[in-house]
Amino acid sequence: MNTDFFKQLAESKEGAEKFPFMPEGQAFDMGADVDGKPLFDPRILDSAEFFRNPYPYYRILRDHYPVFHDRLHNCYWVTRYEDITDCYFDDEGFNTIPKGSSSGVLGNTQLELSGVEHRRRRNLYGQHLVGKSLLLRIPAIERLAEEMIEDWSRLALGDEPYVNDTESKRLVELGRAFANEFPIRVVCEVLGFPKEAQPQFYYWYNSMMSGLGGSETHRVGVEARQDLEDYIQGIVEERRHSPTYLYDSAGNPIGKDIISKLCETKVDGAVLSTEEVTSNIALIVGGGGETTRGAILNMWTLLLRHPDQFLAVQKDNSLWDNVFHETLRHSSSIGGQPRHNTFDVEMHGVKIPAGSLIQMVDFSANHDERIFDDPERFDIFRQDLYSGKLLRSGYRKEGRCSHMAFGVGPHLCPGAWISHQEAIVGSEILLKKMQNPKIKEDLMPRDIDGNKPAPMGITSVRELWLEFDIS
């Protein structure tokens, strides 16, 4: 790819010519008021320039408009770390996610609930995503990663364009060869779907995820979700009487899969309905797929472009936790979470009427200079970032803070623990299998100057071409 990517993107956005591409980290001058305060034109938020170079514009919002009333998009943008954290923990004042943003496709999930009902729903599946349940998944994750990487040799002999061998080198596009499919395979197995259902699982996953993006694909997403429920109905009835299991590397059963556990879960003395089981499965599918794909590709891109840090990880495998957390702080694929406020509120002198749409911008919180020093710098050794166990309560002690890629509080992303585990275990195995990996930069997108790599912007890497030695 080349700079044509950004030209095409600009042409697809109405009025984008008003905002020319700027050097990365530098904002387009939108003028100033009589006091010298920079003006902010909300049309920039729809531009290709913002898509590729968002952080200088978030800085303008944080410094001058920490609560920005965007009349063009009929919402309010909250961009500072402390303010977003306070809102996430205020389950009374900011206790609802806008209705319809997920339920139309995913079903009646807890995403759009709050208070007691939210806690009740979350507890239905939360026990299957943390603690001992995480450990039970490791053998399956390791085996599936090994299988996919071992299959590269076969793919290199065929016509697949994303795996190619020369005499001593192998070229792979890590997205199609691994990251796009790996988390879907893992979620399919740990949920407990039969192996023969895996191709159908890809259809359910891809259709439901694209169905969340807008009206054009919504119908396809709803149809896929209904197809999933129809398929699950037979499995649920069977698992209620005959549960199935996950196995260790020696083939010994180590615990029931998630569908089997959900089938025996009771609330108020009654087992979950098939619809409730399906909704929980749909939520787990969404939480453990796209987030992991983006995390793996971003992790490897950033790490290989910082060779000193990559060398440190090669010497100390425990640093993968640092890589994961710093990647999600620096270049997360998760932008934020919308909220509606229950009451009239005032923040930084801006009055927000009850029921307003408020965008909590996690992207911006992760680059808030009030919390993270030199936030545009990727550094797995930074001393101000907490890189320990994922906590719903977040972490802010002794000058170290957790990133906000998953949010904090009651609505912390349900796929957070899944994504962390899959990205770390998958990357550890990739590191063992690839000798001297390097990014094939001539196959990667370039920035507007045609020389530097294209910035990640507010999305994850879509393609990552790697070359490494083969024996």
Q: CA dihedral in degrees (197, 202, 208, 209; nearest 10)? A: 150
Can you give the pLDDT at residue 157? 92
How many domains does the chain fold into? 1
Percent of the chain with pLDDT over 70: 86
Whether residue 6 is contained in a domain is answered as no
Whether residue 209 is contained in a domain is answered as yes
Query: Average pLDDT for residues 9-14, to the nearest whole number?
Result: 45
User: Three-state DSSP class for 262?
Assistant: helix
pLDDT in tens, 260-314: 988 888 777 778 888 778 777 777 766 556 778 889 999 999 999 999 999 999 9
Q: CA dihedral in degrees (260, 276, 389, 140; nearest 10)? A: 30
pLDDT in tens, 135-154: 788 898 999 999 999 999 99
Can you give the pLDDT at residue 7? 47
Q: Given a cut of 60, is residue 122 above it in pLDDT?
A: no
Provide the pLDDT confidence category of residue 112 given band limits of 50, 70 and 90. low
> Which structural domain range is residue 436 located in?
54-469
All residues at 6 or more sequence positions from 156 whose CB lies less than 8 Å from its CB, including other chains: 163, 164, 165, 170
Give the separation between CA 62 and CA 66, rounded to whole angstroms: 5
Can you give the pLDDT at residue 2? 41
Give the separation between CA 461 and CA 5, rounded to whole angstroms: 13
CATH number at residue 398: 1.10.630.10
Whether residue 24 is contained in a domain is answered as no
Whether residue 89 is contained in a domain is answered as yes
Whether residue 464 is contained in a domain is answered as yes
Q: Given a cut of 90, is residue 6 above it in pLDDT?
A: no
Whether residue 27 is contained in a domain is answered as no
Distances (CA, A) of 156 to 166, 335, 373, 438, 464: 9, 36, 44, 18, 17
Whether residue 49 is contained in a domain is answered as no
User: What is the rounded average pLDDT for all residues in the chain?
Assistant: 86
By CB neighbour count within 10 A (0-12 exposed, 13-18 middle, 19+ buried), where does 109 fall?
Answer: buried
Whether residue 271 is contained in a domain is answered as yes
Q: Given a cut of 50, is residue 11 above it in pLDDT?
A: no
